[in-house]
Structure 1
Amino acid sequence: MATSLKSLSDHSSKNMSDVSQKTFAIIVSEWNEDVTESLYSGAFQTLLDHGVPQEHIVRKNVPGSFELSLAAQWMAQDEQIDAVICLGCVIQGETKHFDFICDAVAHGITNVSLKYNKPVIFGVLTPNTQQQALDRAGGKHGNKGDEAAITAIKMLGF
């Protein structure tokens, strides 16, 4: 969680394993694309910075955050994929749609991780405003994409 005291891009080097031979899937929601593309850039660069070869990073796009769970399942069932990173952004609106989508995505991603016994990372922003999203997608609070990639790396070293 980003606060004024901690950036999403700050992380410790504890539990970091060699991931140079691992393959990662990054699934990116096209909804709120200005935010999700920044999240992708952060995750992609973080994986490269930690020794993952570019050809070991598979990108898939989905229309919105709701579709992340099924795409994560498709990627997780691929035995060549070691970890899946799901990136999306659902901004609070005037209706309960936000609550239903966020709840479904969180449960869906968790269930895929448990079903396939591999890291499936929740890199979905759930801010109240567009500005809060931008602040967490490379802005003043860092980049949730960085955090999601680091989480995947650390889970592979568990």
Structure 2
Amino acid sequence: MAGNELHYTMPRGGFDTPAKALIVVAPYYRDIADELIAGARAEIEAWGASHDLVEVPGALEVPTAIAMAGRMSNFDAYVALGCVIRGETTHYETVCNDSSRGITLLGLQGFCIGNGILTVENRDQALARARVAEQNKGGGAAAAALHLLALSRKWGAPRKGVGFRSPASLGEDTVIAAADMDPWT
């Protein structure tokens, strides 16, 4: 999307019960990361949620840190932030594709996650997207994560475990046919 195009922004929501977001940032370009963080923090606070912040070495480590937090902590939503600027090698494509793929896979597993990892050609593009007064992609990523959280709360409590339930988890005396198994319960 070009920076001068108009686009729709969903109205900001809020929560009846407390919500806590984790911002995971790769601060390789510190000034850009700081702008992304400022936007994300402001958006999270505007929703009435709280947040923690962790830093990781690079964009490839962002999905891993989020997955670890999902297993080991109590966050409701996650905001992935960082910046990858094209260089002279194919490493750019690897970092862009794999960090995005990792974040997408987490989302498909049920994580409420907003992707604010910028993938740009140059520093000017990165700054225009990161600055709160311009495109505010950090705020946009936080809003995406919180909108997903609101949607998940609307549809009900999170389910324990993902995938098939083993017959053993149903009790020793339970006999079920494979056709009777609901893989999403």
Band the TM-score falls in, shorter-chain normalisation: 0.7 to 0.9
Structure 1 residue 142 corresponds to structure 2 residue 135: yes
State the partner residue of 1:46.
43
Does residue 1:69 correspond to 2:67, yes or no? Answer: no
Q: Structure with the greater relative contact order (CA < 8 A, sep ≥ 6): 1 or 2?
A: 1
Q: Given residue 90 of structure 2, which amino acid in structure 1 is its aligned partner?
A: K
Aligned-residue RMSD, C-alpha = 2.0
CA separation of 1:12/1:121 partners in 2, compared to 1, >3 Å: closer, same or farther?
A: closer
Question: 2:10: which partner in 1?
Answer: 12
Which residue of the partner structure matches residue 130 of structure 1?
Answer: 123
1:102-127 C-alpha deviation (Å, 9 max, x unpaired): 01101111112223x12122111001
Q: Which runs of 5+ in 1 are unaligned?
A: none
What corresponds to 1:82 in structure 2? 76
Q: How far is 1:30 from its partner?
A: 1.7
- What is aligned with 1:114? 108
Mark the structure with the bigger radius of gyration.
2
Q: Unaligned regions of 5+ residues in structure 2, if any?
A: 152-185
Q: TM-score, normalised by structure 2?
A: 0.75
Worse-superposed segment, 135-144 or 69-78: 135-144
- Structure 1 contact 92–98 (Cα < 8 Å) conserved: yes
Distance in 2 of aligned mates of 1:139 and 1:122: 16
TM-score, normalising length: structure 1: 0.87
More moved, 98-107 vs 141-150:
141-150
Asked if the contact 2:114–2:143 (Cα under 8 Å) also holds between the matched residues in 1, the reply is no
> Are the counterparts in 1 of residues 28 and 58 from structure 2 also a CA contact under 8 Å?
yes
Equivalents in 1 of 2:92, 2:48: separation in Å? Answer: 36
- 1:151 paired with 2:144, answer yes
Given that residues 66 and 101 in structure 1 are in contact (C-alpha distance below 8 angstroms), is that contact kept between their aligned partners in structure 2? yes
For 2:94, the equivalent position in structure 1 comes to: 100
Give the ranges of 4+ consecutive aligned residues of structure 1 lying more than 6 Å apart after TM superposition. none
Question: How far apart are residue 48 of structure 1 and its match?
Answer: 0.8
Distance 1:127 1:92 in 2: 6
